[in-house]
Amino acid sequence: MHVVQCALMKPLEGIKVIDLTHMLAGPYAGMVIADLGAEVVKVEPLGTGEMTRGLLAEDPNNSYKGFGAYFLTLNRNKKSLSLDLKHPDGLKVFYDLVKKADVVLNNFSAGVVTKLKIDFDHLSQVNPKVITCSITGFGETGNHSTRPAYDQIVQAYSGGMSITGPDASTPTRAGIPIGDLGSGLFSVIGILSALLSREKTGKGQHLDLSLLDVQISLLSYMATMQTLSGVDPEPIGNAHFVHVPYNSFATKDGFVVIAVITDAFWEELLKIVDIDSLRKEEFKNSSGRLKNQNFIETELNKKLSTQTSQYWINALNSAKVPCAPINSFSQAFSDEQVVHRNMLVEVEHPDGGKVKMPGNPIKLSYTNDNSYSPPPHLGQHTKETLVGWCNYSKSELEDLIKKKVIAT
């Protein structure tokens, strides 16, 4: 049997990234790239740093040693360099960094990078191989390019909220910020694509990534259904528009989800729940079950409420009927499969102690180092980066500190 030896390395080692982002979409993209081994350096304003540093930082329930949950999670495996980009000497320092960088990532409002002279047109003159990525709400082109946007704005604007929730009278945003997180992931895909393209062409390029574009893309097949039928879909809660039963159900002590997408699953479900009223011939196929959705789900609710969630999960799993408990976060985090997959990891704080947070879902077979460095203090790596990347001398650093161009 051939055994693959594991290497203590990460796939993006050697890639240098300048991270100018704040809040969620951009920092999440930088986090994913950093988790994969790229050297990601946050370039932050002097004094306060990027705005996420202050978010929840004084909340006793959602912070640790002055770092809020946002910053703790999104900035592991990163370094911090404190720089005044608006100072002429600060711009020169930034250009020196760009000469050594592979990627420059930002999520400034449209037009800001051009005003600061750190857009692709300027940076590609400094380094023709550099890849830049700008994450904005509505994109860098079009009549709405200058509009501000956050996750819920694009969830609403895209139509996503119109299909989420219990009914059409209660449009609901997704429980997690899928516009922001999806944009972060699509940014990573775009950046990796540009890096691969550069291997073939030798040229860098710019990635214009819009939260709205991503949210429209995530509508997926439901968007195509609308274009084919001309009918706007409406929310149906946890149910499915084709499969029955495919919904959440109350049990004696909680809730479970059952997903019957084949007739074979239906037959196995009947053996478990043993409900005579559901043993009708017309229910043996999906179209018949769909026509009688309310009746079927009502009968199932009556039966499922008589036993605990774990009772039904054990029984359904034994018959391989797709199911799951509706877990709380704490229940999910303690689940044996989640623990086995190392999806809750401990990350050190730079001042000592550890914080638990979601791990990296990308499980590679060879370059599989799964280590995490602490999120940085503001300017913690200013000197280290300027010396390591740009060979700045001690006197040059002292002069820049004196001019308040950089801080450590």
Domains, in order of start, for the chain: 16-219+341-407 (3.40.50.10540), 246-328 (3.30.1540.10)
Q: Which residues of 133-167 are buried (b: 16+ CB within 10 A; e: fewer)?
A: bbbbbbbbeeeebeeebebebbbbbbbbbbbbbee
Instruction: Kindly tell me if the per-residue pLDDT of 2 is higher than 70.
Output: no
Checking if the pLDDT of 351 tops 60, the result is yes
Give the closest residue to 187 by CA, choosing from 71, 382, 32: 32
Task: Mark whether 180 is an active-site residue.
Answer: yes
pLDDT at 3: 45
Looking at beta carbons, which pairs linking 50-59 to residues 24 or more positions away fall under 8 Å? 50/21, 50/22, 51/22, 51/23, 52/22, 52/23, 52/24, 52/27, 53/378
At position 155, the amino acid (one-letter code) is Q
Average pLDDT over residues 34-56: 97
Q: What is the mean pLDDT of the chain?
A: 96
pLDDT over 90 percentage in the chain: 97
Give the pLDDT score at 1: 43
What are the distances in angstroms from CA 326 to CA 280, 313, 335?
A: 29, 11, 12
Chain Cα centroid distance, residue 351: 27
Q: Is the pLDDT of residue 111 over 60?
A: yes
**What pLDDT score does 368 carry?**
87
Query: What percent of the chain lies above the pLDDT cut of 70?
Result: 98
pLDDT at 338 over 70: yes
Contacts (Cβ under 8 Å, ≥6 apart) of 232: 159, 162, 226
Can you state the percent helix, strand and coil of the chain, rounding each to 5? 45, 15, 40
pLDDT for the residue numbered 280? 97
What is the per-residue pLDDT across 177-227, written as a single tens digit (0 to 9) for each?
Answer: 999 999 999 999 999 999 999 999 999 999 999 999 999 999 999 999 999
The band of 5, judged by pLDDT with boundaries at 50, 70 and 90, is low
Candidates 84, 102, 180, 213; catalytic one: 180
User: Residue 379: is its pLDDT beyond 60?
Assistant: yes
Please determine, for residue 8, whether its predicted confidence score (pLDDT) is greater than 80: no
Q: Per-residue pLDDT for 67 more than 90? A: yes
